[in-house]
């Protein structure tokens, strides 16, 4: 794999490394670049989140292209979420076999059939994830020339609104400590936290009830607590009149109700905006109660982030359907925008057994599995099957089960070298081969007739060892990072 190089010469001298790592770890904890420990969990303490000591090179041209594209992707996802026929048709086979998607879909259909339901605006806080792919290495054999490709778009619980911007600050601190303060200007500003919170505040304003709260739907145990509390603290600081409450779906079932006009109440407090940081995986619904709670929220007039339709629009199956030739025209009229979106797609294939396309995809992956990733309709990491594990996984599935999966061409991003600093890590940390995934945030508000708010809001970079398949930070294999832009 081609190598992007590093922002300052490596390796670092051991004495300097020791001092700067020790400071950076303290800086991280003291600024909330932290998680709750999974091993020694306590609500009373935090551990620094794994981070890459220095920022990772990323081509400025591609970064700016991704930022420019985000409002267009927001627009696309908004119209996809509001196209009932498209969602029905696209997910029809999936919901036959995938129980989780089916449960979501049942709520979706029930609300559509309900004459008194008064759906208002929905709020999308999206994160478009992408990886660089090296197209060629220039003739001086310097850096590879890279373009980015889409991994997925998240429409629910898009994390790192706080951890993204704070990663830039840790690395700026480290660069300054190492006498490279002049390089900090190459780390782009990152307003993700403010941007995502402004989206929620905008939604709250649209509802116009000064006494209403914003409800965060949370997991039973929150490890990634800084990435939720900083949102809450930001909202409260900018708007002391807005109260944020946190409840699990189980608690919403216990304490939630609908008022006479379908307003959502938690005990006596009215809620006009609901922000889901849980609810994206089956484990978040241990019983029918949690599904009932999701239905009550959906039926309410509160602005949901996401609404069920946005949640469904974010499934892998929908992503695959959008990559089919000619489909984007249904949602976007401008040909230039369509071309810009099409350029970021990599090969995506249905795995249905009853279509030629599905049969062709099956033959392709069995011939050369290393080139592919097989994905089910799940979020949150750890569910995909990679490369040589695919044939075995496929063999265990019935034809019908297979149709709930999609096949994606694997992206092989360029490598960079760096130091990954983890809690309990040994010293000196080895200089390792790393690959990164950039996430661009967007906020969009609208209803079936119009989009009333559409903005790009910041970014996050996650970096993992080149050898690992996935790079979830809370899951333990990835680390916080931020892009260091270079011109090519
Ligand atoms: P999830 O919804 O679980 O986050 P993703 O589609 O984002 O699922 O995949 C999880 C991780 O797997 C990504 O963050 C990325 O590291 C890796 N991955 C997914 N698709 C690809 C691909 N096509 N090529 C290379 N890596 C991929
Ligand atoms: Mg993902």
pLDDT in tens, 28-53: 999 999 999 999 999 999 999 999 99
Instruction: Report pLDDT for 282.
Output: 96
What is the C-alpha separation between 403 and 397, in angstroms, rounded? 10
pLDDT in tens, 75-125: 999 999 999 999 999 999 999 999 999 999 999 999 999 977 776 899 999
- DSSP letter assigned to residue 3: B
Residue nearest to atom 17 of ligand 1 (CA): 470
**C-alpha radius of gyration, the chain, whole number:** 22
Compute, in angstroms, the gap from residue 201 CA to the centroid of ligand 1.
31
Q: Check if the beta carbon of residue 217 is closer than 8 Å to that of residue 279.
A: yes
Q: Work out which ligand 1 atom sits closest to the CA atom of 409.
A: 23
The CB density around residue 334, as the number of other CB atoms within 10 Å, is: 10
Split at pLDDT 50, 70, 90, the class of 206 is very high
Nearest atom of ligand 1 to the alpha carbon of 380: 3
| Ligand 2: centre distance to CA 121 (Å) | 26
The residue among 165, 216, 218, 229 whose CA lies nearest residue 193 is 165
Tell me the CA–centroid distance for residue 471 and ligand 2, in Å.
9
C-alpha 248/C-alpha 284 separation (Å) is: 9
Nearest CA to ligand 1 atom 12: 470
Rounded to an integer, the average pLDDT of 434-457 is 97
Q: Separation of 470 CA from ligand 1 center, angstroms? A: 6
Query: Over 80: is that where the pLDDT of 345 sits?
Result: yes
Is 347-410 CATH 3.30.70.1230? Answer: no
Which residues have C-beta within 8 Å of that of residue 339, sequence separation ≥ 6? none
The residues near 53 (Cβ < 8 Å, ≥ 6 apart) are: 20, 21, 24, 171, 174, 418, 419, 420, 421, 429
Q: 354: pLDDT confidence band, cut at 50, 70 and 90? A: confident
Tell me the per-residue pLDDT of 123-165, one tens digit each, with 9 for 90 and over.
999 999 999 998 766 556 578 889 999 999 999 999 999 999 9
| Domain ranges (residues) in the chain | 14-344+422-486, 347-410
Quickly state the pLDDT bin for 237 (edges 50, 70, 90). Answer: very high
Q: CB within 8 A of 4, min separation 6: which ones? A: 56, 57, 143, 144, 146, 414, 415, 416
Probe ligand 1: pick from 470, 471, 472, 478, max atoms within 8 Å of CB? 470
The alpha carbon of 425 and the centre of ligand 1 are apart by a number of angstroms equal to: 26
pLDDT in tens, 394-443: 999 999 899 999 999 999 999 999 999 999 999 999 999 999 999 999 99
């Amino acid at each position: 794999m081609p190598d992007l190089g590093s922002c300052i010469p490596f390796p670092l001298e051991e004495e300097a490394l020791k001092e700067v790592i020790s400071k950076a770890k303290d800086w991280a904890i003291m600024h909330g670049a932290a998680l709750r420990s999974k091993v020694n969990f306590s609500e009373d303490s935090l551990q620094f989140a794994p981070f890459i000591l220095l920022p990772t090179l990323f081509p400025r041209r591609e970064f700016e292209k991704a930022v420019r594209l985000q409002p267009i992707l927001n627009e696309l996802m908004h119209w996809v979420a509001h196209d009932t026929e498209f969602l029905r048709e696209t997910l029809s086979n999936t919901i036959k076999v995938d129980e989780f998607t089916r449960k979501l879909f049942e709520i979706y259909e029930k609300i559509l059939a309900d004459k008194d339901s008064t759906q208002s605006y929905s709020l999308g806080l999206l994160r478009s994830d992408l990886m660089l792919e090296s197209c060629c290495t220039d003739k001086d054999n310097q850096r590879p020339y890279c373009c980015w490709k889409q991994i997925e778009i998240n429409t629910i619980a898009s994390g790192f609104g706080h951890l993204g911007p704070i990663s830039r600050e840790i690395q700026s601190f480290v660069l300054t400590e190492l006498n490279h303060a002049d390089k900090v200007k190459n780390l782009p500003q990152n307003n993700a936290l403010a941007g995502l919170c402004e989206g929620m505040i905008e939604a709250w304003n649209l509802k116009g009830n000064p006494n209403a709260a914003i409800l965060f739907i949370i997991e039973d145990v929150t490890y990634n607590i800084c990435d939720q509390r900083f949102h809450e603290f930001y909202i409260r600081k900018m708007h002391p009149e807005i109260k944020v409450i946190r409840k699990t779906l189980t608690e919403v079932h216990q304490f939630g109700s609908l008022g006479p006009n379908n307003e959502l109440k938690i005990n006596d407090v009215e809620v006009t905006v609901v922000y889901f940081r849980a609810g994206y995986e089956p484990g978040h619904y241990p019983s029918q109660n949690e599904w009932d709670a999701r239905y009550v929220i959906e039926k309410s007039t509160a602005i949901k982030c996401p609404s069920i339709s946005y949640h469904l629009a974010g499934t892998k199956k929908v992503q695959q359907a959008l990559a089919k030739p000619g489909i984007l025209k249904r949602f976007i009229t401008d040909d230039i925008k369509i071309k810009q979106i099409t350029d970021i797609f990599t090969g995506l294939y249905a795995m249905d057994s009853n279509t030629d396309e599905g049969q062709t995809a099956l033959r392709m992956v069995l011939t050369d599995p290393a080139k592919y990733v097989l994905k089910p309709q799940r979020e949150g990491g750890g569910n995909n099957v990679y490369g040589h594990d695919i044939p075995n996984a496929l063999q265990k599935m019935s034809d019908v089960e297979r149709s709930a999966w999609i096949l994606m061409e694997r992206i092989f991003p360029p490598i960079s070298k760096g130091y990954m600093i983890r809690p309990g890590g040994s010293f000196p940390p080895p200089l390792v081969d790393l690959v990164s995934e950039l996430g661009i945030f967007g906020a969009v508000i609208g209803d079936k007739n119009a989009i009333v708010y559409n903005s790009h809001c910041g970014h996050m970079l996650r970096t993992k060892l080149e050898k690992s398949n996935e790079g979830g930070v809370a899951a333990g294999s990835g680390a916080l990072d931020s892009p260091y832009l270079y011109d090519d």
